[in-house]
Structure 1
């Protein structure tokens, strides 16, 4: 790397830090702890789409144009999801977690970073089939108001339903999947009763605190986008939200190994990153 390249990289890093600080101080969204490589790509993509040549230019536009902020939030939100994604994970929930949950008079589940609601619907269907939905409350949270609005509708693209059906069957589904939804145009709209016990709410894992005690916290494939300090902060938040024998479920590329809370948890199914507070 030449001296000029080094100077350019230092300047870009300064612009990036100032942009993130500006977004936090002006709007309260905190991306300062996100993994840098992915964040840099997303910020530059937004700058290019806005016709801007620098991150400083993006900072100015975001500060003066709330609509630009909304576009940026959509870029920074991680919305890759599917119903019954990783079927063996959902198998493990039914086999190794639900039997103990069934012994509780009431079950509280937190789906953190719920995106457009596919995982929420998957959990609701599984709880229904296990006879627990009527005495459960699912809290579905995300920092993005737009994806929460989509999640509330219970509608998903019809073209994806074939894959979702395959996942459902592989995950141990016991009913006819097609009985859960009606086709409306190009949407599969699921039975509203499945979301009757769901509370949708905005919650920013980077800045907001614990708001209840849960028997099961599910946060899959979110921590991988955070830097180590923010990961520790979020894991501490989940730890505060779980009682003894509460269950924490992460994504396959995420783990409690080497974290500050590791010693307080035992693996239920390590391969599926499901842990119980001991």
Structure 2
């Protein structure tokens, strides 16, 4: 026999997500149900609401709560040169292909607070490609974008970032790229002078540029299958012929509707190349 309270909670959760979409145009309707519920429970407790309906009433009548609520619903856990093997593969296997282009565009989709962007900016500088490259860093969370553009990280995280950089085949010291002060590391503004920061949602927004490399790592795992296919379709339509797509270590195109449009470039590092 069904638990009526569970049914009520499921209806309330669905109505909350629909309400956020209709009023604020943030579309979480096709996010993984389990992940979405877990995060909304955390938000409900944070805002001291007894039910999802109570949370819905608050956010519908107080737009100032929205940025904080969106923070609970988006993924903001990252680190510089996360999964160093991925960045080593980009450096050693992808960069030789990218060198053949006179100019480059790189899309960091779901850039969160910017760790992935700065990792790529440093890598491209070390490989001599920075001056011919434009980066697009996008995220649904405007507060995360603000942090990404600031480029400030807790100093206690830098030892991990440094170790990852070295393992990725770094050709310099990470300390060359930041200034330490007051318990924080402030990354050099020059690393983002060729970056466009913009809000963009993979759930409903369209292609905005033709790019040579898309990095969207550890984002698709929070989407349901339909939204995963939509996102991969956007990446396919954005990429030049034989352009590259990088996914997270737990992500794959194996079951994607667009799997046939890509060849595995590095199975271990989840790097794919768009077919001609």
- On whether the aligned pair clears a TM of 0.5, the verdict is yes
Match of 2:144 in 1: 147
Q: Offset at 1:41?
A: 1.4
Cα distance in 1 for residues equivalent to 2:43 and 2:172? 43
* 2:233 aligned residue: 236
* Residue 104 (structure 2) aligns with: 107
Q: Distance in 2 between matches of 1:161 and 1:51?
A: 34
Question: Where in structure 2 are the equivalents of 1:59-138 lying within 5 Å?
Answer: 59-138=56-135
Contact 2:209–2:238 (Cα < 8 Å) also in 1 = yes
Partner of 1:217: 214
Aligned residues: 275
Does the 8 A contact of 2:67 with 2:142 survive in 1?
Answer: no
Deviation at 1:63, TM superposition (A): 0.5
In the aligned structure 2, how far is the partner of 1:50 from the partner of 1:131? 48
Which residue of 1 is the match for residue 36 of structure 2?
Answer: 39
Q: Is the 8 A contact 2:67 2:143 kept in 1?
A: no
Separation of aligned partners in 2, 1:78 and 1:210 = 22
Q: Give 1:68 deviation, angstroms.
A: 2.0
Cα displacement string for residues 238-276 of structure 1 (whole angstroms, at most 9, x for unaligned residues): 111012101011001111112111111111101111000
Q: Determine if the alignment matches structure 1 residue 22 to structure 2 residue 50.
A: no
- Alignment partner of 1:264 is 2:267: no
Deviation at 1:56, TM superposition (A): 1.0
Report whether the alignment pairs 1:207 with 2:204. yes
Instruction: Name the CA distance, whole Å, in 2 between partners of 1:259 and 1:205.
Output: 15
Q: Look up the SS of the partner of 2:75 in the other structure.
A: coil
Q: CA RMSD in A?
A: 0.9
Please tell me whether residue 52 in structure 1 is matched to residue 49 in structure 2.
yes
Deviation string, structure 1 residues 191-233 (Cα, Å, up to 9, x no partner): 2111111111111111111100000000000000011111111
Shift of 1:12: 1.4
2:239 match: secondary structure: coil
Provide the C-alpha distance between the structure 2 equivalents of 1:260 and 1:232, rounded to a whole number of angstroms.
Answer: 6
Deviates more, 1:215-224 or 1:178-187: 178-187
Deviation (angstroms), 1:147: 1.0
Work out the CA distance in 2 between the residues paired with 1:108 and 1:176.
25
TM-score (norm 2): 0.97
Query: Once the two structures are superposed, what CA deviation does each residue of 1:130-170 show, in whole Å capped at 9, x if it has no partner?
Result: 00000000000011111111111122111111111100000
